[in-house]
Structures are given as C-alpha cells and as structure tokens.
Amino acid sequence: MIIGIPKESFPGERRVGMVPAALPSLTKAGFEVAIEAGAGISAGYLDKDYTDKGAKILANRAEVFKTADIVVQVLCYGSNDKTGKEDVALYRDSQFLVGFLRPLGAVETLKDIASKGVSSFSIELMPRITRAQSMDALSSMSTICGYKAVLLAADTLPRLCPMLTTAAGTITPARIFIIGAGVAGLQAIATARRMGAVASAYDVRPAVKEQVQSLGGRFVELPIEAKDAQDARGYATAQDESFYQRQRELLGRVVAESDVVITTAVIPGKKPPILVTEEMVKSMAPGSVIVDLAAERGGNCELTEASKMVVKHNVNIVGYINLASSVPYHASQMYARNVCTFLTHLFKGGKPELKLEDEITRETLITRGGEIVHGRVREFFGLPVLSTAKNA
C-alpha cells in the first residue's frame, strides 16, 4: 500500500505528517511512501532527505491523493477549518485517512468525509492504555505546547525566571502557576522548574498531586471536591457551573500572587471552562502574563483573544494557537513516530487488518463504508445507534 503525505494547508502550519527517518520502518513493514514536493521544507526536511530514504516525490497535492491508499496528515479536514474542505473532492472510495480530525467538532465535516467512502482514523481519540502509548500523538503535541507556553511566558514577562544572587543584590524567582496538570501542564511545570521558577499547579483530579510534586512543583489543594473528576480514559471531566464558580473564588488568591498563569483546561467537544475572570486579571501585578492553551476553543481566561497577545489591565494575555507548529522539526518527528507505530498496528504486511474488537482500532475509527461508525461520536451528535451489521 502507498502512504501519501500532502503538504499541510492550514495557514501557518509548519509541521509535516512524516519525516525521512521514519521511512525505513515503513518500507520494512511493506509500505511505499509518496510525498508532495516541498511538504517538509517548513519543518526542516528537504525533498532530497525523503528520496534518500526511498520516498517518491509527487508534483502536487492532487497527485498525492490520487496515488495514495493511505493519506497521512497532521491537520485533516475537521481540525483544519480554513482550507480542509478543499481536500474532500480529492478523496477516493476505500481510501484511508489518518490524522487529527477533531471528531467532536462538527458532524457535517464527518458526514462529508463519510460520503466519499473514506475510512478515517482520528489520532486524538487514541485510548490512554499502555499498548497505545507509543501511538499517542495528542500527548506528544501537548508536551510541546506545555514547553512552549513557559518559553512564551518567560519571553513576555518583564522579570527574570530564576533566583539570582548578583552584585546588585538577590533577584527572587518568578512564580508560575499552572491550572490543569495533564500532559501539557506537567511539561509546563518541568520546564518552569528547569528555568529556575517556582512552579505550582492545580487540577480537579487529586490523583495528579504526586506527579506534580515529583517534578518539583507545589500542588495547590482547594477545599472543594469535583464530582467524577476524571473519565475512564484519565481525562478531566466537565463540572457544573456552581463548581467552577466556587473554584474561581478559591483560585483568585493564587492567581493574584502569580507572575505567570498557564491554563490548560480543554474538555473534548465542549467550550473550555472560564477559570480566570476579568476580576482575577485585575488583581495581578502589572506586567504579569497569562498563557491560555485553550484559546482556540474559546479560552480559560475571560479576556483571551484567539491567535493574539493582548494587554488587558496591564496584564499580557497570550492566546496563540497551534503552538506545536512553532517547533515543527521535533513536533513532526514525534508525530511521525506515533503515526508509524499506529500504521503498523492497522496494516499487517502492508495490508489492512482492521479488527474492531481491538480497542485501539475501534476507538480511533470514525468513518467507514459511507457511515460515521464511532459509537461515542454518534452518541455525542445524537445520531441513532448503528446496527451491528453496518459497524462490522
């Protein structure tokens, strides 16, 4: 089977779906790889790097979709709401599509993909189980976002991060507060500590306390308890508004004392909860920084503006989106390794082997045979349950 890698078309996207170093393992597994000319340049990979590893270079996007049995993208139609729909006309019946699809975004997108007979796999729905860790591209990209959030904060903050003892006296370390200790939050804690800042974190899941402390962070405990704080997959679950209101009241003091606040709370398929209100922003010292990693979905800070950095009440609020794309070389490398492992799981000897009794396959398969076949996605959008025959 031929794996096709088109150039990413989302405005400003610099990642690429496959890197040259990953090609030998795919060739060994029975695949051929074809890539659009120039697809890897923005990430630091030249066409020659690919041809040296056995890939075929194709002149344009249409040729890639025409040639490929499996199309691998970073942002597929669904997660790419700017230019992604242009790819629908290029899909072929029985073709496979692998990448970020944002399956809980818009049902019309999934219906468009299904209507072309494409079997699509949403990489962000990879189950949080031991067998799937090496395929978890969402965690890989979240790691980069957490790292980059601290760098952005340090670059914006009018203070130094580490404690320094100098001839001009002692400089106290910056105080960085991370709300949400998932993959991005934990990496933010680790990065903040490496930069010499004092890091603290809060999460609705008490179980992450040990992880925060193991990285040298202080876990902020609030006298409120979340109901069903995490789901079966280990992700934080949405709470009711009364919980968030009480949470904001208790977090206010910690936010006011912080030089940097990094928010990471994203609930799949839902608007992110407001964790930092305008009143809380007003309480922060002039020059303080908020980096909102939920900006693309609406933001955890009441004053966040997606894709922008704004100054409100003398506080810098960073709402940049797609941070992983700002580190395209290693982001592409990590993504490619995850996807390669996933592809060799789905295709044995270069041929499809889709076993729906396998959790990894079942939980990532979104469309097949002209239908949306993912049970949780159908339930989310209120679609009727598919018969067993159609889902087989």
Q: What is the pLDDT of residues 177-219, one digit of tens each?
A: 999 999 999 999 999 999 999 999 999 888 899 999 999 999 9
Kindly report, residue by residue over 113-162, the tens digit of the pLDDT: 999 999 999 999 999 999 999 999 999 999 999 999 999 999 999 999 99
**C-alpha 25, offset from chain centre:** 25
**What is the predicted pLDDT for the residue at 115?**
98
Query: Sign of torsion, CA 343 348 352 358?
Result: negative
Domain 2-136+328-391: give its CATH architecture.
3-Layer(aba) Sandwich (3.40)
Q: Which residue has the higher pLDDT, 244 or 69?
A: 69
Whole-angstrom CA distances from 192 to 134, 146, 164 are 26, 10, 15
Kindly report, residue by residue over 255-268, the tens digit of the pLDDT: 999 999 999 999 88
Whole-angstrom CA distances from 334 to 16, 66, 100, 200, 383 are 11, 27, 14, 28, 35
**What is the predicted pLDDT for the residue at 223?**
85
pLDDT band at 392 (very low <50, low <70, confident <90, very high): very low
Is the entire prediction scored with pTM above 0.85? yes
Fold of the domain spanning 143-321: Rossmann fold (3.40.50)
Q: What residue ranges of the chain are covered by domains with CATH 3.40.50.720? A: 2-136+328-391, 143-321
**What is the predicted pLDDT for the residue at 58?**
98
Catalytic positions, please?
A: 128, 133, 136, 139, 235
Percentage of the chain lying above the pLDDT 70 cut: 96
* Residue type present at position 26: L
Position 21 pLDDT exceeds 90: yes
**What is the predicted pLDDT for the residue at 389?**
43
* Residue type present at position 16: V
**What is the predicted pLDDT for the residue at 236?**
65
